[in-house]
Amino acid sequence: MNLNSQEIREDFYILKNGLDLSDGIIDEAKLVIRNASERGLVRGRSHTTVVAAAVYIACREIEAPYLLNDIATIANVKRKNLAKYCRILMKKLRLNLPIIDPSKCILKLADSINVNEKAKHLASVMMNEIINKGISGGKNPMAIAACILYICCRRTGYYTSQVSIAKAAGITDVTLRNRFKELKRVMHY
């Protein structure tokens, strides 16, 4: 795959502007594509899916909290295909990607739904407590962040619905309620 082709450059441009990505993430994504291309992993794949997968992997490597759903939407590819190709690349390139820090998810999510500073601060404190107790392990970090932010919004009097927080987090409201029940049981919220 030629990284200088017009289609590839357009795909990078669309993702960079649509997600407001840094040049470092784009450079890392290009490196992923180059490595995948050298191993013959891009043949028969749509260039848009390859670029989107490389961008997602680069975001994970740099620990930028971008969701697979966001990247799939901006790139105009099916999430299922993107997830499958990301798994293939991670396995074949033997990539050990860091887990997304739920604390970063809190800030991103809080900014996207315009939460007040009091709720943000309380959410950060609660998130640190949950991380220290090891409760967040194995859970979708954005789901945990959404749940904590919902709890903090309720405590600080900032009204927002479960549906709006879940939508902003890229999860279902059922997932939000399930995480809420789990945290309530374990942390007594």
CA distances to 8, 51, 57, 79 from 32, in Å: 13, 9, 8, 19
Contacts of 50 (CB under 8 A, 6+ apart): 1, 33, 36, 42, 85
Model confidence pLDDT, tens digit, residues 138-178: 778 888 999 999 999 999 988 889 999 998 888 899 999 99
Answer whether 0.85 is exceeded by the pTM: no
In the chain, domain spans? 6-92, 102-187
Model confidence pLDDT, tens digit, residues 108-117: 888 888 888 9
> Binning pLDDT at 50, 70 and 90, where does residue 118 land?
very high
Percent of the chain with pLDDT over 90: 37
Model confidence pLDDT, tens digit, residues 16-50: 999 888 999 999 999 999 999 899 888 888 889 99
pLDDT at 8: 84
H helices of the chain, where?
Answer: 6-19, 23-38, 47-62, 68-75, 79-92, 102-112, 117-133, 141-156, 162-169, 173-187
pLDDT at 132: 82
Fold identical between 6-92 and 102-187?
yes
Q: Which CATH number fits domain 6-92: 1.10.10.10, 1.10.472.10, 3.50.50.60, 3.40.50.1170?
A: 1.10.472.10
CATH architecture of residue range(s) 102-187: Orthogonal Bundle (1.10)
Choose between 33 and 188: higher pLDDT. Answer: 33
CA proximity to 171, closest of 139, 153, 138, 146: 146
